[in-house]
């Protein structure tokens, strides 16, 4: 909570009903305040669109589109929309006030337990399944937009970049424009192409990788290098990025499928959720680690031809049966048809 006694909104009333008491925080598009319903005494959050953006029709529509998405998606893991409107020229939405910590802060505390990770991603994938069934794509899934309430309850925040069904309202001119947070953006998002539910799944895959390994799959000095990595590089094994414990091969495979360059190859939210639950169901972390270690030892002992037959591969950077090492992230996928854009992104990647 932030106190700024020079803020003209503090102490004011919105639409005659909500008395603003304090500033919660500011973002790129506006600010969020804590307020109290004057008649009911209930605390709420009020999100205002910045006046500078309110003068632009497309940004006003984007703000309204966020409210439309929240109104349609009633779910325990989504912050509830309570009201929406305009007062004294200011565009606002009234939201459920949530007290918790963003997952980005929780990640800063150190390694996460497997039960916690399982609980968080089960809820996140559940709510995305509901959204995707309604043809709603979030487009900005990242740890700072996942609030942890209590021990492990999830609230998905910030539908400011949401994509709604075309039939529901006039489509904004998004094709060819890049939206999102580079660390978590899908390849098609990096190219400014049309986004789909699979775009959210890729972002979930990056987040799950980060929660298990302690860092995201790719490093980069700036947005261009990060987007180039999403476009051209295969993610290294989580173990090579610092995973704290041996992970089940099935989990590694699931995360890598979610991070496929091809949207159609990624699992849907419901299938992703079920597979993740099946991997951990009834299995304690110690036995998971022991089983994963046995799988890796077996893979390392197989000859190259045996691995080809069984589908077992050596970990990136790990010694192979022939004495060589498997290079981490050596394969490159180029999906840009514009040669100029491809060259620009390859150059950015080369200096990473």
Q: Which pLDDT score is estimated for 262? A: 97
Q: CA–CA separation, 307 vs 288, rounded Å?
A: 22
Closest CA to 249 of 327, 337, 315, 166: 315
How much is the pLDDT for 53?
Answer: 84
Hey, which residues does 94 pair with through a beta bridge? 46, 83
Domain count, the chain: 2
Q: Which of 78-82, 147-151, 341-345 has the lowest mean pLDDT?
A: 341-345
Structure tokens, 165 = 């069904």
243: domain CATH number is 1.10.510.10
Reply yes or no on whether the pLDDT at 104 is more than 90: yes
Report the pLDDT averaged over residues 156-173: 57
Domain end point (choices 49, 64, 96) = 96
Six token digits for residue 18: 């909500």
Task: Judge whether 1 lies within some domain.
Answer: no
Highest average pLDDT, of 29-33, 245-249, 262-266, 305-309, comes from: 262-266
Please classify residue 346 by burial: count the beta carbons closer than 10 Å to its beta carbon, then call 0-12 exposed, 13-18 middle and 19+ buried: middle
Structure tokens at 157: 């925040």
320 with 218, same domain: the answer is: yes
Range of the domain at 91: 13-96
| Domain membership flag for residue 131 | yes
**Shared-domain flag, residues 37 and 148:** no
Residues 39 and 121 in one domain: no
Task: Give the C-alpha separation, 144 to 86, whole Å.
Answer: 27
Q: Which of 239, 146, 248 is nearest to 200 (CA)?
A: 146
Chosen domain end from 96, 118, 150: 96
For the residues of 46-82, what is the DSSP string, one character each?
EEEE-HHHHTSHHHHHHHHHHHHHHHH---TTBPPEE
pLDDT in tens, 268-281: 999 999 999 999 87
**Burial class of residue 312 (count of CB atoms within 10 Å of its CB; 0-12, 13-18, 19+):** middle
- Is residue 5 one of the residues assigned to a domain? no
Any idea which of 71-75, 153-157, 279-283 has the lowest mean pLDDT? 279-283
Helix (H) or strand (E) holding 294: helix 285-301
Q: Residues 132, 209, 99, 49: what is their CA dihedral angle, to the nearest 10 degrees? A: -60
What pLDDT was estimated at residue 283?
A: 54
Segment 43-64, tens digit of pLDDT = 999 999 988 888 888 888 888 9
158 has catalytic annotation? no
Do 77 and 188 share a domain, yes or no?
Answer: no
Q: Which helix (H) or strand (E) holds 24?
A: strand 18-26
First to last CA, the chain: 38
> Which two structure tokens, joined as six digits, stand for 24?
């919660």
Residue 8 lies in a domain: no
In a domain, 4, yes or no: no
Which residues lie across from 155 on neighbouring strands?
Answer: 147
pLDDT bracket for residue 290 (50, 70, 90): low
Token pair, residue 96, equals 């459920």
Q: What is the mean pLDDT of residues 274-292?
A: 68
Q: What is the pLDDT of residues 216-228, one digit of tens each?
A: 999 988 899 999 9
Whether pLDDT at 5 is above 90: no
Lowest mean pLDDT among 13-22, 131-140, 160-169, 202-211: 160-169
Q: 276: buried, middle or exposed (CB in 10 Å: 19+, 13-18, 0-12)?
A: buried
> What is the pairing mode between strands 13-14 and 18-26?
antiparallel
122 and 83 in a common domain:
no
Cα–Cα dist 57/47, whole Å: 18
Residue 182 belongs to a domain: yes
Percent of the chain surpassing pLDDT 70? 72
Q: Given 4, 87, 109, 140, which residue is catalytic?
A: 140
The pLDDT value given to residue 55:
84
Burial of 99 (0-12, 13-18, 19+ CB in 10 A): exposed
**268 C-beta neighbours (distance < 10 Å), count:** 16
């Amino acid at each position: 909570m932030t106190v700024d006694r020079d803020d003209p909104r503090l102490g004011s009333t919105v639409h005659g009903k909500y008395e603003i008491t304090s500033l919660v925080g500011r973002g790129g598009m506006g600010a969020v305040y804590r307020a109290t319903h004057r008649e009911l005494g209930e605390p709420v959050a009020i999100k205002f669109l910045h006046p500078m953006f309110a003068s632009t029709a497309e940004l006003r529509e984007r703000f309204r589109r966020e409210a439309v998405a929240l109104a349609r998606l009633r779910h325990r893991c989504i912050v509830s929309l309570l009201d929406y409107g305009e007062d004294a020229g200011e565009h606002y939405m009234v939201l459920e006030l949530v007290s918790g910590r963003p997952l980005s802060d929780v990640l800063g505390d150190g390694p996460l337990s497997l039960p916690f990770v399982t609980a968080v991603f089960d809820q996140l994938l559940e709510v995305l399944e509901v959204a995707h069934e309604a043809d709603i794509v979030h487009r900005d899934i990242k740890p700072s937009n996942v609030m942890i309430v209590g021990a492990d309850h999830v609230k998905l925040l910030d539908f400011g970049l949401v994509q709604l069904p075309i039939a529901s309202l006039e489509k904004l001119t998004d094709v060819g424009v890049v939206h999102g947070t580079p660390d978590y953006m899908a390849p098609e998002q990096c190219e400014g192409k049309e986004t789909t539910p699979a775009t959210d799944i890729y972002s979930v895959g990056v987040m799950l990788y980060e929660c298990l390994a302690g860092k995201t799959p790719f490093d980069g000095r700036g947005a261009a290098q990060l987007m180039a990595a999403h476009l051209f590089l295969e993610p290294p094994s989580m173990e090579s990025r610092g995973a704290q414990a041996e992970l089940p091969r099935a989990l590694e495979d699931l995360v890598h499928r979610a991070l496929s360059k091809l949207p159609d190859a990624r699992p849907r939210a419901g299938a992703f959720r079920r597979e993740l639950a099946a991997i951990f169901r009834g299995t304690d972390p110690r036995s998971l680690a022991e089983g994963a270690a046995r799988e890796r030892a077996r893979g390392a002992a197989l000859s190259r031809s045996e691995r080809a037959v069984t589908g077992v591969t050596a970990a990136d950077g790990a010694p192979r049966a022939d004495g060589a090492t498997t290079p981490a992230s050596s394969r490159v996928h180029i999906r840009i048809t514009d040669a100029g854009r491809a060259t620009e992104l390859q150059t950015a990647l080369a200096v990473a």
